[in-house]
Amino acid sequence: MEKTKVMVYFTIFGETFPLDYVTDKLGITPTMTYKKGDVIPRRSKTLYRKETSWVFGTSYEESFDVNEQLKQVIIPLKNQISIISDIKKKYAVECQFNIVIVIEDGNTPGLHLDRDVINFASLIDAEFDIDLYANPYENDEDY
């Protein structure tokens, strides 16, 4: 039986910017990077990336508390506020936290953004994007 899973990732994105520069300045190996114009893999129709992105995050993990995954992403970035701000100014990029929740059998995780998370996001002027995917219940009587 599938379990409820959470994935969190932080993205620096924009038109074009040097991905290696961001990696070097932050001292963090990204989970994924791509450049504007790259082909998006595993699509039936050929689609291209509309922006350049530097991504750092978790994979899907069984979880009932989104803060567990948020902390894994924020802790390595926490002392990088001035570097992130400099990168944003220099390359006109944006920052975003993405939270992806796959709910199985109605088992929803807690989604509470604590003060530390909100303050950090505010200091780097980041937004949050939350995607929820609710898979069907095993039994209609579970509603």
- b or e along 55-69 (b: 16 or more beta carbons within 10 Å of the residue's beta carbon)? bbbbeeeebeebbeb
Q: Which helix (H) or strand (E) holds 115?
A: helix 115-123
pLDDT tens, per residue, the chain with 143 residues: 689 999 999 999 999 999 999 999 999 999 999 999 999 988 889 999 999 999 999 999 999 999 999 999 999 999 999 999 999 999 999 999 999 999 998 888 989 999 999 999 999 999 999 999 998 766 555 44
3-class secondary structure, 118:
helix
* Alpha-carbon gap, residue 5 to 65, rounded angstroms: 10
Contacts of 122 (CB under 8 A, 6+ apart): none
DSSP state string for 55-91: EEE---EE-SBHHHHHHHHHHHHGGGHHHHHHHHHHH
* Alpha-carbon gap, residue 7 to 131, rounded angstroms: 10
To the question of pTM greater than 0.85 for the whole model, the response is: yes
